[in-house]
């Protein structure tokens, strides 16, 4: 899989926090605190993988963890519903697995999921 197509400025604008970047600039970690919750968004740009986790401030381990490969990139969306990041062509994976769990054919031909992340409530109208 190719490198993740994303823009650091979009993440900064949407998540409203600066990332912690590892010394090799392979991983960017954004941690957003809202009340007693912390949303972590880890971007592994060379593996095209994103890990989302949610935990309470008082907990060490997250209550929820989602890990997925992003085939079609990340789009910054600002529309009538709000501001959010849209991860396109996503394939869920195990967080602990450092290897791709899909074949190249599956990644190219299968329809991936769309995942939207926002730190502010989105508005949905009928």
Quote the DSSP letter at residue 108. H
pLDDT score for 1 = 58
Residues 6 or more apart whose Cβ sits within 8 Å of residue 12: 18, 19
Quote the DSSP letter at residue 80. T
Give the angle 46-97-1 at the CA atoms, nearest 5°.
35
pLDDT score for 3 = 86
pLDDT score for 104 = 63
- The answer to whether the pTM exceeds 0.75 is yes
pLDDT score for 94 = 75
- Per-residue pLDDT tens, the chain, 126 aa: give them: 578 999 999 999 999 999 999 999 999 999 999 999 999 999 999 988 999 999 999 999 999 999 999 999 999 999 988 999 999 999 888 766 555 566 666 666 678 889 999 988 766 665
Q: Answer yes or no: are the C-beta atoms of 15 and 38 closer than 8 Å.
A: no
């Amino acid at each position: 899989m190719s490198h993740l197509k994303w823009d650091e400025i979009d993440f900064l604008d949407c998540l409203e926090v600066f990332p912690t970047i590892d010394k090799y600039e392979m991983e960017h970690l954004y941690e957003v605190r809202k009340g007693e919750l912390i949303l972590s968004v880890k971007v592994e740009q060379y593996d095209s993988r994103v890990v989302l986790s949610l935990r309470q401030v008082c907990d060490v381990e997250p209550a929820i963890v989602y890990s997925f490969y992003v085939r079609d990139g990340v789009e910054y969306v600002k529309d009538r519903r709000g501001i959010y990041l849209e991860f396109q062509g996503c394939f869920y994976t195990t967080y602990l697995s450092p290897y791709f769990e899909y074949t190249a054919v599956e990644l190219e031909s299968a329809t991936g999921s769309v995942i939207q992340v926002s730190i502010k409530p989105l508005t949905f109208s009928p």
